[in-house]
């Protein structure tokens, strides 16, 4: 019953948020430029342009266009991309695996590096290595992804002849719709640099977050009790302290995972990674309004789904959290 009302409430919120996002997307379309200019050659006459504008319904008032969009959206049709000439959802879902895999690979790097490094810095705060890590994490936080990407490309493929400068390489088709990088050697070698560059923004943040939280937890009384009881250091650190460090981290991680999907825009542009982020930049340069609006709605959806998953994970880690306010 509780779970049902939780999901009902969530889906109702989903719809409201998506309507708001699409409305904002539509209302800024004039600022996004004129799609007609991107569809025709520069020498094409004004009359031909006007005909196309009329045909695409771009002359209708804003509200008429928005109502038409919502009506179609209710039937599952979010519009057709001007550039790809395919339904926008098909275009986005085509590009989604590339972005999700890149984000997963980057998350993998973040998780497997930030936990040991963060704990290390908390336990040995004065050690040279800990200080070095903290210094590097400041540099990492302040360096733009774009620059990290270009640097990686110049160091590895160009100077050292290692790894690849762009693209996904050889991918394997799974279930007929999911192209994966993880099952071919070429694909794995291609994903390394983009994943490092994408991870470079989140890694320092997480090292600092885990370190900070761990320092806090380590000074709590139950840790002192555990020490007094003679538990091994590793058991105290990894079982007792770490579990409590994790709770706030999970909620940040959830939001950051979704943020990372949005951050792929820069990484994908530098590495010509054929994902949603790159597609979005292209859509903006082409003034492909249906695709831009659909992308925004889709990313909003991803944010809400990750938030929901985080809430559920929360419940699993910390049983005192309630999904829905219960009346007693």
Partner 1 sequence: MIKNIFMIAISAALLMSIGWGKSLRLAYDADPVSMDPHEQLSGGMLQFSHMVFDPLVRWTQDLKFEPRLATQWRQIDAKTTRFTLRKGVKFHSGNEMTARDVKWTFDRLRKSADFKGIFLEFEPIRVVDDYTIDIVTKGPYPLVLHTATYIFPMDRKFYSGNDSQGRSKALVQKEANTFASRNASGTGPFTVTKRDQGVRVDFARFNGYWDKTSKGNVTKVILTPIAEGPTRVAALLAGDVDFIAPVPPSDLFKLRKERKINLVELPGTRIITFQLNQQRRKEFRDVRVRQAIVHAINNDAIVSKIMRNFATVAAQQSPLGYIGYNKTLKPRYNLARARELMKEAGYPNGFNITLMAPNNRYVNDEKIAEAVASMLAKIKIKASVKTIPKAQYWPAFDAREADMMMIGWHSDTEDSANFTEYLLMTFNKDTGRGQYNSGNYSNPEVDKLVTESANVVDENKRARILQKVEKLLYDDAAFVPLHWQNLAWASRKGVDIKPIVNVQNFPYIGDLVIK
Does the protein bind partner 1 through residue 174 (CB under 8 A)? no
In the structure encoding, which two tokens stand for residue 216, read together? 């806090």
Q: Considering the rule CB under 8 A, would residue 161 count as an interface residue with partner 1?
A: yes
Over the window 106 to 145, marking each residue x when it contacts partner 1 by CB under 8 A and - when it does not, the resulting string is ----------------------------------------
Residue 287 within binding range of partner 1, rule CB under 8 A: yes
Shortest Å distance, C-beta 21 to partner 1: 21
Sole window of 8-16, 127-135, 224-232, 265-273 interacting with partner 1 (rule: CB under 8 A): 265-273
Position 189 contacts partner 1 (CB under 8 A): no
Stretch that binds partner 1, among 10-18, 132-140, 247-255, 284-292 (CB under 8 A): 284-292
Q: Kindly state whether residue 173 participates in binding partner 1, applying the rule CB under 8 A.
A: no
Closest by alpha carbon to 210, among 269, 123, 293, 128?
Answer: 123
Among 25, 26, 66, 80, binds partner 1 (CB under 8 A): 80
Q: Is 31 in the site for partner 1 (CB under 8 A)?
A: yes
What's the closest the beta carbon of residue 29 comes to partner 1, in angstroms?
11
191 near partner 1 (CB under 8 A): no
The smaller minimum CB distance to partner 1, of residues 120 and 273, is found at 273
The verdict on 270 binding partner 1 (CB under 8 A) reads: yes
Burial code (b: 16+ CB inside 10 Å, e: under 16) for 103-138 equals bbbbbebbeeebbebbbbbbbeeeeeebeebbeebe
Q: Work out how close the CB of 166 gets to partner 1 at its nearest, in angstroms, rounded to a whole number.
A: 5
Closer to partner 1 by CB, 26 or 84: give it. 84
- Tell which one of 26, 69, 96, 164 touches partner 1 (CB under 8 A): 164
28 belongs to the binding site for partner 1 (CB under 8 A): no
Phi, psi (rounded to 5 degrees) for 80: -120, 135
| Out of 73, 93, 141, 167, the residue judged to bind partner 1 by CB under 8 A | 167
Binding site for partner 1 (CB under 8 A): 31-34, 37-48, 51-52, 55-56, 80, 82-86, 150, 153-154, 157-158, 161, 164-167, 269-272, 274, 278-279, 281-282, 284-287
């Amino acid at each position: 019953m509780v779970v049902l009302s939780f999901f009902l409430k969530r889906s109702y919120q989903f719809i409201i948020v998506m309507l708001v996002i699409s409305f904002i997307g539509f209302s800024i379309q004039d600022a996004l430029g004129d799609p007609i200019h991107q569809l025709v050659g520069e020498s094409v006459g004004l009359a031909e342009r006007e005909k196309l504008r009329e045909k695409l319904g771009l002359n209708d008032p804003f509200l008429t266009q928005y109502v038409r969009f919502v009506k179609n959206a209710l039937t599952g049709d979010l519009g057709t991309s001007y550039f790809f000439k395919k339904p926008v959802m098909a275009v986005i879902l085509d590009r989604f695996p590339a972005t999700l895999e890149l984000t997963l690979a980057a998350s993998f790097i973040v998780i497997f590096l930030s936990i040991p490094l963060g704990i290390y810095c908390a336990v040995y705060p004065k050690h040279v290595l800990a200080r070095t890590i903290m210094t590097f994490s400041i540099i990492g936080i302040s360096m733009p992804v774009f620059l990290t990407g270009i640097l990686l490309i110049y160091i590895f493929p160009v100077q050292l002849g290692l790894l690849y400068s762009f693209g996904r390489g050889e991918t394997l088709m799974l279930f007929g719709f999911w192209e994966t990088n993880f099952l071919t050697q070429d694909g794995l070698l291609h994903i390394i640099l983009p994943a490092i560059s994408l991870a470079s923004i989140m890694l320092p943040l997480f090292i600092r977050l885990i370190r900070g939280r761990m320092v806090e937890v380590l000074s709590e009384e139950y840790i002192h009790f555990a020490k007094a009881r003679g538990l091994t250091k590793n058991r105290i650190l990894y079982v007792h302290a770490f579990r409590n460090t994790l709770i706030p981290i999970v909620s940040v991680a959830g939001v950051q995972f979704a943020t990372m999907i949005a951050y792929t825009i820069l990484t994908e542009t530098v590495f010509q990674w054929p994902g949603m982020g790159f597609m979005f930049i292209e859509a903006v340069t082409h003034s492909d309004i249906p695709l831009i609006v659909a992308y925004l709605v889709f990313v909003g959806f991803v944010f809400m789904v990750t938030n929901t998953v985080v809430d559920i994970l929360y419940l699993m880690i910390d049983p005192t959290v309630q999904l829905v306010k219960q009346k007693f």
